Amino acid sequence: MVKRGFSLLELVIAIFLIAVVIGTVLLLLAANLNIINKANELMIANALVQYSIEEVKNIDFPPVYADRQDYFGDEITYDSIVDVSFYSDWTPKEFKEKFKIIRFVQGYDSSGSLIIDFNNTKYDEAMILKIIVYVIRRKDGKLILKTSTFVSRNGLY
């Protein structure tokens, strides 16, 4: 007598194997989508940093005892941030929902020393400004990218 078809045990094993294969493929797809999302986020963050740096480079270094109309960023004497909600937001309006750009400026005198009381002297004693740009994910406040550039009185970067 010849049996045709599958037994119940064979059917259960076949369904289990198919479920394992499909589950593995779905996990790989989900991981791949997560990597693509992070890569897109980093690409946008790079573009935003470049935009902010170019914006800074287009600002003329204020002359000594100028009326201080130019604003490069929030003045700090150290190179770290604590509470991102306190600082000025430099993000273009198209990206304000997802990102926050924070810019800091540090002044250096003619000897290359950091000006400690930069808030009071502003740009009068500064020969070089260090502009530090942070791109932060707005949703969770995580730092995505950080870079810095220098602007000097003679226009060199």
Q: Considering the domain boundaries, does residue 108 fall inside one?
A: yes
- Highest mean predicted confidence (pLDDT) among 12-26, 49-63, 129-143: 12-26
Strands 128-137 and 74-75: unpaired
Binned at pLDDT 50, 70 and 90, residue 136 comes out as: very high
Q: What is the mean pLDDT of residues 85-92?
A: 84
H helix and E strand count, the chain: 2, 4
Residue 106 has pLDDT above 80, yes or no: yes
What is the predicted pLDDT for the residue at 86?
A: 79
Number of domains in the chain: 1
Q: What angle do CA 59, 70, 119 make, to 5 degrees?
A: 125
What is the predicted pLDDT for the residue at 57?
A: 79
Q: Considering the domain boundaries, does residue 112 fall inside one?
A: yes
Q: Considering the domain boundaries, does residue 119 fall inside one?
A: yes
Task: For residue 149, give the 3-state DSSP assignment.
Answer: strand
The tens digit of pLDDT for each residue in 42-79 reads 999 999 999 998 888 777 776 655 555 566 777 776 66
- C-alpha to C-alpha distance for 33 and 31, rounded to whole angstroms: 5
Domain assignment of residue 34, given as a range: 8-152
Q: Considering the domain boundaries, does residue 84 fall inside one?
A: yes
**Average pLDDT, whole number, for the chain?**
83
- Cβ-contact 103, 91 below 8 angstroms: no
Q: Considering the domain boundaries, does residue 147 fall inside one?
A: yes
Q: Considering the domain boundaries, does residue 3 fall inside one?
A: no
